[in-house]
Amino acid sequence: MRKDGRRPDQIRPVKITPHYLKYAEGSVLMELGETKVICSVSVEDKVPPFLKDTGMGWITAEYAMLPRSTHQRTPRESATGKKGRSYEIQRLIGRSLRAVVDLALLGERTFWIDCDVMQADGGTRTASITGAWVALALAFRKLLKEGLLAQNPMKYQLAAISCGQVGGEVLLDLNYDEDSLAEIDANFVMTAEGHIVEIQTTAEKEPFPWETFEKMKNLALKGIKELTQIQQKVLENA
Amino acid sequence: MRKDGRRPDQIRPVKITPHYLKYAEGSVLMELGETKVICSVSVEDKVPPFLKDTGMGWITAEYAMLPRSTHQRTPRESATGKKGRSYEIQRLIGRSLRAVVDLALLGERTFWIDCDVMQADGGTRTASITGAWVALALAFRKLLKEGLLAQNPMKYQLAAISCGQVGGEVLLDLNYDEDSLAEIDANFVMTAEGHIVEIQTTAEKEPFPWETFEKMKNLALKGIKELTQIQQKVLENA
Amino acid sequence: MRKDGRRPDQIRPVKITPHYLKYAEGSVLMELGETKVICSVSVEDKVPPFLKDTGMGWITAEYAMLPRSTHQRTPRESATGKKGRSYEIQRLIGRSLRAVVDLALLGERTFWIDCDVMQADGGTRTASITGAWVALALAFRKLLKEGLLAQNPMKYQLAAISCGQVGGEVLLDLNYDEDSLAEIDANFVMTAEGHIVEIQTTAEKEPFPWETFEKMKNLALKGIKELTQIQQKVLENA
Amino acid sequence: MRKDGRRPDQIRPVKITPHYLKYAEGSVLMELGETKVICSVSVEDKVPPFLKDTGMGWITAEYAMLPRSTHQRTPRESATGKKGRSYEIQRLIGRSLRAVVDLALLGERTFWIDCDVMQADGGTRTASITGAWVALALAFRKLLKEGLLAQNPMKYQLAAISCGQVGGEVLLDLNYDEDSLAEIDANFVMTAEGHIVEIQTTAEKEPFPWETFEKMKNLALKGIKELTQIQQKVLENA
Amino acid sequence: MRKDGRRPDQIRPVKITPHYLKYAEGSVLMELGETKVICSVSVEDKVPPFLKDTGMGWITAEYAMLPRSTHQRTPRESATGKKGRSYEIQRLIGRSLRAVVDLALLGERTFWIDCDVMQADGGTRTASITGAWVALALAFRKLLKEGLLAQNPMKYQLAAISCGQVGGEVLLDLNYDEDSLAEIDANFVMTAEGHIVEIQTTAEKEPFPWETFEKMKNLALKGIKELTQIQQKVLENA
Amino acid sequence: MRKDGRRPDQIRPVKITPHYLKYAEGSVLMELGETKVICSVSVEDKVPPFLKDTGMGWITAEYAMLPRSTHQRTPRESATGKKGRSYEIQRLIGRSLRAVVDLALLGERTFWIDCDVMQADGGTRTASITGAWVALALAFRKLLKEGLLAQNPMKYQLAAISCGQVGGEVLLDLNYDEDSLAEIDANFVMTAEGHIVEIQTTAEKEPFPWETFEKMKNLALKGIKELTQIQQKVLENA
């Protein structure tokens, strides 16, 4: 039993509020326990230089935290410069979403994914990906309806979940308190079918054996299955 | 009758959700029509150099917009550098709140006011001030309860509202569509008693006579009265 | 009687030296007591993106202080980044001048107003506006003479003056010593006819009643009248 | 057979030149085929704020590319700002080395790992880690000899290697040409015993099944074994 | 005969206005023909880290141009970042003045030299040095009078002048038009005795023989002699 | 006899390794004693705005030091911003090389010279120039061979050497230990014929007489002669 009453293989309550922002082509408020992320999708009729005149589109992501999303106030990146951690996370979000979309069907457009963490209680990067996928699906739905897209560019359903080892025990979906004690930190980004899009795993204290990796993989597959079912329901009702 | 059905002297529906963020010492979600601002207060046990060893505290504010708070996506200030407009607004918020607080009662602490605009439909600076005052009152209440403050440093109740002239008619609390057509733009920051904390008024098209200023002043006094009553109720129920 | 011998409603000696810089299309040295500002106007055959192909021109301003314009040396903004205060002031200067010019008569040109404070003894923003208006008038005169403008784009004569309350007394045109003690700080930007272009007023210590505002307004109207007469004479003799 | 004549499970020729720089506490030139990285270790008698007075030390890394390490010249990060990719890589290098060192044995010192890519032909991040581990071992040896360290803080031997899938075939240690065609990109950081320190794997084109991951894992284990043997020999002869 | 009527070995009219700024410890307006530089000296009771607790003082310089000191407006360095040319010039000014001062007599103080070019017509760096020396001498005089310095730290009198070759002819003190055509550009910083403090000479078009250098040297010696006589007179009358 | 066994007029051992980098159009590793600089030349099919449509080309240089090229680690300029010293040096390198090349023969191309100091033991700027000239000659040779240049744009052979005075004695080619004690620091950039391209000389302690300059000049002429002979041999064998 974990401090917040969960079993080791249990994810936190998930709530995805679609159409959270008025102006964005797609948006959700993604809640994973106390972690809350605003995910929005903005469409720009322009691609980066390396894609000009190729007919292909692009997906890019930006990630940031509101100053008081954290226990102590975090200074704004407009003052400090963008931090390495934010770059690392937003690159992960962008790569993950590009892997499940047919960029050739986007037209010469850039889809900007903005993930702004309103409240951070662990798992902000996985919540961002899980929420951003829904926001992107909503944006595609809108552009399809408006005739701006001829065909749905979404190839696969995508979600992400963290695993870790705390006090020798392997846990699914760590909250902040668990995360700050974890010996291992892993993030799995997978499709609804359990195929791999991105894996990042880190030994925070000591190198660890492959058996531990296997245990985390199995928890992650279970978590991804549950998340993709929730996403599905949200899209059906949106 | 205005496009959204309001009378010229009518403010938009106001909703102030207290304790909106989990970690902040004080916070609200401030909604003024479709304009939504997250206002949070963070306490730091440290003052700027010019106040060191004076026993006095400080209040400072930061203002920013989420990238998709606007009709078109606005690039992040972590990429572009903080904009002049944001500096201007956050300086206004900070000055306004300092004017209604007894800084000598804060102890050697800095109170950081963060106003992050989630959705911008006109009046973001006035909504920020009105909401920040409630968040600050909540933070003082918390510190008083915890014995960290001996006496309530809040001297006056504060709110802010915009006025403007559109198509020759003077209006209270302009939304984005009205604001973008306005010939005059004015922001009034006043106490519940109608005393002046800050006035900023600008001729957007042509210089204008003092009679017009008088009309705006009267509308503003009405708006401030209504806003401070709403604030009062929120604090009573929080 | 004030420390420097002035009556409460008296502005400091004003000296405006036209054609102060050799290369600028228009320029003055603006002296308001010991406050000295170099105001120059530069014409660029290009407008910001939002005005492209509209046939309209633009006016924009930049404000900065020489490092030793102040009692203590101020580090350069090329080292520290542009400060919020400078942004706030230069935005005020730009807005004020745009309000008295017919931008449609400028052609697709940007008029850059540079206000560089050589010596700061209070009132630098009002001196900047009063001086910049003369420099802009001189630039228009030059371009009219050269046939680059067909018609004078200047619609109104503009000046600015500060008021404040010190030790309970309302004063016109505060110098640095007065300003640093002031309970209220106000800046009035008006036309020669006394119409409003911009008002900014701030309670530095305590919120204040509207009667005080009325007193400042009346002083300001007197000051603006005197300043616009001086501007007029300078232009006649330049 | 690969274009450069290697078998799918074959790493490129490795050359590690110890003591490559004169002033650094430890340094190597790491060559992995045509990829060349200068790895240096610098010791500073100071730790980051969060470790002050804990008695513990810290290891941090910086990664950069010389402008003409690449096919086309890459603008310097002193002009463009540090790129997201560089942040991501240097954070990986730092985390990996910290995982194999007993920070409590470092004293209150920071060990700076600098990895500067002189020539980039794929695998720069794995070459950086493999080389940096040797440079760090050399630095520890030097400080032990000088009596500045009482005990060797190195707990495990560490190396890194990339895997990928190109044209449906799983390959070990991709060079630039292979990397730019790869469908999957994976980096394995492991100890000599094959324990996991960090895994990062990315679907560049399509999500992929776990069987492919297993194949990459097995190649990586083979590569790590060979690299750690080479490191061992270099240290014996240095 | 040169375009402006000067002989090849003739410097432009020099005017040095002492006590040009009200607050600075020392200041002049330095005019060399149409080139005008405001030179000020500010004293700070603090030295850079490398001089802490040595009892020695420091002299450092900053150089900048007002935006409309030039034929076309030059964007501000607060927007563009400090330019290489400005760094090069301010480093030259600082080195030159340190070479003629006994830093051990300054106390633990930094003397900031600010050279702000109001109007640029060639020779701004030499005018800056010549003017800054007078401003520094005035600052020393003030601190001696106030008892803050026990002994005059100034060891030598210093001036600077440019030479160049235009159309095959060697000229002294080039103005902007000459400078933009020059085949050779040289700056000589020397003491009143003709000893060398700094020489910088550059072939702008073609490498040149040592005979040409000799000619420039002789012109420079003449120019320095005249400048130091003017400085002397200014100091006597200030 | 100097500490490292050299006579006062003796340069350190020189080693120039051509084709040091695989991708650059021209490159060398330049070794001057323990000073080691990687010099590379990159060709870009584009010129700066001021040369557009003139048919002329451009040469520009960038100089930087690896963080552990120095006795103590130097923070990266990507973190601190480019330093004044680096700007000064890279401007010198660029100017020097432009003076010996016929820019009209380059076509509308920019030749980027990158000088990255791997190890710094004094004389990095002169080693950079001497090495960069060879790298540029190699790049021209390559482009001539490929038919991209019709005619060799190199007009003169160029080298650079430092002189200085240490303990009253004039020395050629100072190493770091000598340089840090030097009373005078001079850098001579000359052609093989001994014509002047750039001279920079600085009094580090006291102004000095012209006789000392003459002594340095003569040493420099000797050094340049030897360096240009070595360059010649390298080019013959490359």
Which ranges constitute the DSSP H helices of B146-209? 176-179
Are D24 and F68 in contact, with CB atoms under 8 Å apart?
A: yes
Are F159 and F190 in contact, with CB atoms under 8 Å apart?
A: yes
Would you say residue A88 lies in a domain? yes
Q: Is the pLDDT of residue D176 over 90?
A: yes
Q: Is the pLDDT of residue E104 over 90?
A: yes
| pLDDT value of residue D80 | 85
Would you say residue A8 lies in a domain? no
Number of structural domains in chain F: 1
Q: Is the pLDDT of residue D191 over 90?
A: yes
Cβ <8 Å between D209 and A195: yes
Residues of chain E with Cβ-Cβ distance to F200 below 8 Å are 198-200
Map residue E72 onto helix, strand or coil: coil
Are B64 and B117 in contact, with CB atoms under 8 Å apart?
A: yes
Cβ <8 Å between F99 and E199: no
| pLDDT value of residue A17 | 98
Which long-range CB contacts under 8 A does C72-77 form with residues at least 24 apart?
Answer: C72/E42, C73/E42, C73/E44, C73/E112, C73/E114, C76/E62, C76/E64, C76/E77, C76/E78, C77/E76, C77/E78
**Which residues, including other chains, have CB under 8 Å from residue C17's CB and lie 6 or more apart?**
C28, C29, C31
Spatial distance between the Cα atoms of B118 and B34, rounded to a whole number of angstroms: 10
pLDDT tens figures, D206-228 = 999 999 999 999 999 999 999 99
| pLDDT value of residue F117 | 98
pLDDT tens figures, F4-47 = 999 999 999 999 999 999 999 999 999 999 999 999 999 999 99
Would you say residue F90 lies in a domain? yes
Spatial distance between the Cα atoms of D37 and E209, rounded to a whole number of angstroms: 44
Cβ <8 Å between E207 and F217: no
Mean pLDDT to the nearest integer, F190-218? 97
Size (chain F), residues: 238
Which tokens hold the place of F117? 């100091």
* DSSP strands (E only) in chain A: 14-18, 26-32, 35-44, 58-65, 110-119, 158-166, 169-172, 184-191, 196-203
- To the nearest whole Å, the CA of C42 is away from the closest chain B CA by 21
- To the nearest whole Å, the CA of A196 is away from the closest chain D CA by 5
Spatial distance between the Cα atoms of B201 and F139, rounded to a whole number of angstroms: 63
Q: What is the CA radius of gyration of chain D?
A: 18
CA distances to A130, C174, D150, F108, F146 from F105, in Å: 57, 64, 64, 9, 15
pLDDT tens figures, E34-59 = 999 999 999 999 999 999 999 999 99
Expressed as residue numbers, the domain containing F125 is 14-237
| Type and span of the H or E element at F200 | strand F196-203
Would you say residue C213 lies in a domain? yes
In chain A, the largest separation of any two C-alpha atoms, in whole Å, equals 56
pLDDT tens figures, E132-144 = 999 999 999 999 9
Map residue A91 onto helix, strand or coil: helix
Mean pLDDT to the nearest integer, F51-58? 94
Would you say residue D6 lies in a domain? no
Residues of chain F with Cβ-Cβ distance to D24 below 8 Å are 68
Q: How confident is the model at residue B207 (pLDDT cuts 50, 70, 90)?
A: very high
Residue B188 phi/psi, 5° resolution?
-115, 125
| pLDDT value of residue D81 | 86
**Which residues, including other chains, have CB under 8 Å from residue A103's CB and lie 6 or more apart?**
A56, A57, A58, A59, A153
Are B193 and B225 in contact, with CB atoms under 8 Å apart?
A: no
| pLDDT value of residue D115 | 98
Q: Is the pLDDT of residue F193 over 90?
A: yes
Q: Would you write out chain A's pLDDT as a tens digit for each of its 238 residues?
A: 899 999 999 999 999 999 999 999 999 999 999 999 999 999 999 999 999 999 999 999 999 999 999 999 999 998 888 899 999 999 999 999 999 999 999 999 999 999 999 999 999 999 999 999 999 999 999 999 999 999 999 999 999 999 999 999 999 999 999 999 999 999 999 999 999 999 999 999 999 999 999 999 999 999 999 999 999 999 999 9
pTM attached to this predicted model: 0.92
When the pLDDT of each residue in chain E is averaged and rounded to a whole number, the result is 97
Which tokens hold the place of B143? 């510190």
Which tokens hold the place of D213? 């991951």
Q: Is the pLDDT of residue F137 over 90?
A: yes
Of C42, C67, C81, the CB nearest to E68: C42
Q: Is the pLDDT of residue B110 over 90?
A: yes
Would you say residue D38 lies in a domain? yes
Would you say residue E7 lies in a domain? no
Of C196, C207, C213, the CB nearest to B207: C196
Of A88, A205, A206, the CB nearest to D88: A88
Q: E touches A (3+ CB pairs < 8 Å)?
A: no
- To the nearest whole Å, the CA of F116 is away from the closest chain D CA by 8
| pLDDT value of residue E1 | 87
Pairing outcome for strands F110-119 and F35-44:
antiparallel
Which tokens hold the place of D107? 């004293």
| pLDDT value of residue A1 | 87
Which ranges constitute the DSSP H helices of chain C? 77-80, 84-98, 124-145, 176-179, 210-237
Q: How confident is the model at residue F65 (pLDDT cuts 50, 70, 90)?
A: very high
Map residue C172 onto helix, strand or coil: strand
F95 carries a ligand binding annotation: no
Q: Which residue has the higher pLDDT, F90 or F79?
A: F90
Residues of chain C with Cβ-Cβ distance to E68 below 8 Å are 21, 23-24, 27, 40, 42, 114
Spatial distance between the Cα atoms of C93 and C41, rounded to a whole number of angstroms: 13
Map residue A149 onto helix, strand or coil: coil
| CA–centroid distance for D31 within its chain | 11
- Burial degree of C177 (CB within 10 A; 0-12, 13-18, 19+): middle
Candidate from A226-230, B50-54, F188-192 with smallest mean pLDDT: B50-54
B85 carries a ligand binding annotation: yes
**For the domain that residue D42 is a member of, what is the CATH number?**
3.30.230.70
Would you say residue A105 lies in a domain? yes
How high is the mean pLDDT in each 10-residue block of chain C (238 residues)? 96 98 98 98 96 95 98 92 92 98 97 98 98 98 97 98 97 97 97 98 96 98 98 97
Going by the DSSP 8-state scheme, the letter that residue B104 receives in this structure is G
Residues of chain B with Cβ-Cβ distance to C195 below 8 Å are 203, 207-210
- To the nearest whole Å, the CA of C38 is away from the closest chain E CA by 9
Residues of chain E with Cβ-Cβ distance to F204 below 8 Å are 99
Q: Is the pLDDT of residue F81 over 90?
A: no
Q: How confident is the model at residue E232 (pLDDT cuts 50, 70, 90)?
A: very high
Cβ <8 Å between C210 and B201: no
| pLDDT value of residue F129 | 98
| pLDDT value of residue D79 | 85
Residues of chain B with Cβ-Cβ distance to A27 below 8 Å are 68
**Which residues, including other chains, have CB under 8 Å from residue F165's CB and lie 6 or more apart?**
F171, F182, F183, F184, F208, F212, F216
Q: How confident is the model at residue D1 (pLDDT cuts 50, 70, 90)?
A: confident
Mean pLDDT to the nearest integer, F152-172? 98
pLDDT tens figures, C184-224 = 999 999 999 999 999 999 999 999 999 999 999 999 999 99
pLDDT tens figures, D52-73 = 999 999 999 999 999 999 999 9
Q: Is the pLDDT of residue D171 over 90?
A: yes
Q: Is the pLDDT of residue E82 over 90?
A: no
Are B78 and A76 in contact, with CB atoms under 8 Å apart?
A: yes
